[in-house]
Amino acid sequence: MKFAVSYSTPYYGVDPDKIVAYAQHAEDCGFEALYLPEHIALYPGAAVGRFELPPSLPYFDPLDCLSFVAAATRRILLGTGVLLLPYHHPVILAKRLATVDVLSKGRMRLLTVGLGALPGEARAVGVDFGTRGRRADEAIDVMRLLWAGGEDGVSFDGEFFAFDGLCQFPKPHGVTHLPIHVGGSSRAAARRAGRRGDGYFPGGALAPDERALQMDLARAAAVEAGRDPETLEYTRSGAIDMTADEVEAFAAQGVTRIVVGATATEPERQREELSAFAQRFALLDTTEAGTRA
């Protein structure tokens, strides 16, 4: 099992020193990765299901923030949970992701993408809310094509994006393409993960039967697409105080990565919570926690 942490600026705040300290301590504790969420713009009345989002919530741009974190860390992988893929042009996004990966020496490896649930956010960036699923599928194909393309250039002719003989350098650090995980809470997201994703990161508000059904759908979709379903990573959100039995239960469901976040907003208490989790699950393989040079 792999363990990662999340950092929610709407909850923890946007103090850059606190973000760096959180990431550095997570790294020193042995956590695999740091995840950041995304919203590009909010508005009064914006809601996800029954939950209304206050329009003043301060969401950082996740890639800019992860690049900032990368400069202050050494090993921790960089992730999004989730980046709203339909609201980004894939040619520009491919360049940004490759840049962060090169500058971080190969740590932009847990990109998780979703569709977004706010129609007003889609309108604000000129995207038809009803087509965002097809747009996301096409964007994944475009980015992988650009990352793998050589000096002769690559071409694409799709519903939303088109280009001919395009070259994009630099390439991601030492790989043909960056892993792309798919997030979401729908059966369509599960099928997308199987067809195109390197992993699936479903939402937290799912009944156990629906969760199992979605993972089965993801694996079946992988088989139909001629892909090996055993290579599909399965990421879930967990609680910072979860027990060994709860982790074992996740593992029995096929989960390969658990993402947790501190409940506290005060830095010292956050450090205590991350340290306690790391000690409970023997993440620490050094004695450097809290003693960064």
pLDDT at 286: 45
- Cα–Cα dist 134/127, whole Å: 11
Q: What is the 3-state secondary structure (H, E, C) of 91-159?
A: HHHHHHHHHHHHHCCCCCCEEEEECCCCHHHHHHCCCCHHHHHHHHHHHHHHHHHHHHCCCCCEEEECC
pLDDT in tens, 10-25: 999 999 999 999 999 9
Q: Are 191 and 215 in contact (CB under 8 A)?
A: no
The mean pLDDT value of the chain amounts to: 96
pLDDT at 292: 59
Name residues of the chain where pLDDT drops below 70. Answer: 285-293
- Within 10 angstroms of residue 244's Cβ, the number of other Cβ atoms is 9
- Cα–Cα dist 114/181, whole Å: 9
Which amino acid belongs to residue 186? S
- Cα–Cα dist 202/234, whole Å: 8
